């Protein structure tokens, strides 16, 4: 989103290090996560957006960055309600940047079962081929 606004206006990132503005340049991913989670646009960039696009577009941009368009899990028909209802996933809960062992296993449980059955099948094929080779193919 910020890249689009950079292209459409004269907005640039902060020269000095700031914490929290959507338009700051960060080299570390953890700091980007903080900026995205806060959804803050500093006073300087808010004024630049207002002069470049107007108040209505500024309101839309702030709604996008603050995630108010998601709604809440209590409001029927909102995006957050649908995600919770259909997929049992709460958008307001952060799973964390560094997941533990059991969280990674839980995320990959479907592929683990498939891989396990695939390896068992390959083992059975290997046993059958070895049996057939010893029974019919290795006689002198």
Radius of gyration for the chain, computed over Cα atoms and rounded to the nearest angstrom? 26
| Helix H or strand E segment including 51 | helix 43-53
Query: 40 pairs with which residues across the strands?
Result: 21
Predicted local confidence at residue 40, as pLDDT: 81
Sequential DSSP letters for 68-102: GGG--TTSTTSHHHHHHHHH---TTS---SS--HH
Query: Residue 83: is it exposed, middle or buried by C-beta count within 10 angstroms (0-12/13-18/19+)?
Result: middle
Predicted local confidence at residue 121, as pLDDT: 96
Predicted local confidence at residue 70, as pLDDT: 84
pTM above 0.85, yes or no: no
CA–CA–CA angle 6, 71, 92 (5° rounding): 85
Percent of the chain past pLDDT 90, that is, above it, reads 12
Say which DSSP state 24 is in: -
Q: In the chain, which residues have pLDDT < 50? A: none
Give the helix, strand, coil percentages of the chain, each rounded to 5.
65, 0, 35
**How many angstroms separate the CA atoms of 75 and 91, rounded?**
13
């Amino acid at each position: 989103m910020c890249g689009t606004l950079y292209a459409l206006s004269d907005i640039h990132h902060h020269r000095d290090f700031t914490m929290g503005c959507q338009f700051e340049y960060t080299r570390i991913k953890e700091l980007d996560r903080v900026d995205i989670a806060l959804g803050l646009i500093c006073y300087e960039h808010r004024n630049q957006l207002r002069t470049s696009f107007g108040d209505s577009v500024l309101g839309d941009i702030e709604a996008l960055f603050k995630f108010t368009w998601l709604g809440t899990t209590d409001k029927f028909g909102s995006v957050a309600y649908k995600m919770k209802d259909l997929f049992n996933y709460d958008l307001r809960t952060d799973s964390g940047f560094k997941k533990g062992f059991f969280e990674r296993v839980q995320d990959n449980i479907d592929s683990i079962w498939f891989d396990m059955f695939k390896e068992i099948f390959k083992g059975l094929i290997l046993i059958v081929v070895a049996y057939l080779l010893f029974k019919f193919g290795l006689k002198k």
